[in-house]
Amino acid sequence: MNEYIDGFAGECPVCHSNSLDYGHVKDCDGGVCYAWRCEDCGSTGEEVYEINFIHQTVLTRW
Ligand SMILES: [Zn+2]
């Protein structure tokens, strides 16, 4: 059962340590998830980021 906590990026939502060890990145929940493991309390989780469209950049025009 996943537990959703608002929390802060870069901070363990369980013990509030800033010692997060980041692992892989994957697509999830319509955004991007960064997996982490807290080096202080051993909890694991994922930071979920939303991807927002900003603008188009044309690199090569045909
Ligand atoms: Zn922790």
Instruction: Say what the pTM is.
Output: 0.77
Residues 4-15 pLDDT 10s? 998 999 999 999
Q: Does the residue 57 lie in any domain? A: no
pLDDT at 30: 80
Q: Does the residue 44 lie in any domain? A: yes
Cβ–Cβ under 8 Å, residues 31 and 47? no
End-to-end, the C-alpha distance of the chain in Å comes to 50
pLDDT at 17: 98
Query: Ligand 1 centre from 52 Cα, in Å?
Result: 29
Q: Does the residue 59 lie in any domain? A: no
Q: Does the residue 60 lie in any domain? A: no
Query: Ligand 1 centre from 29 Cα, in Å?
Result: 23
Tell me how many domains the chain contains.
1
Query: Ligand 1 centre from 20 Cα, in Å?
Result: 8
pLDDT of residue 49 exceeding 90: yes
pLDDT at 2: 84
Query: Ligand 1 centre from 36 Cα, in Å?
Result: 10
Residues 25-42 pLDDT 10s? 999 878 999 999 999 999
Q: Does the residue 11 lie in any domain? A: yes
Print the domain residue range for 8: 1-51
Query: Ligand 1 centre from 31 Cα, in Å?
Result: 24
Q: Does the residue 56 lie in any domain? A: no
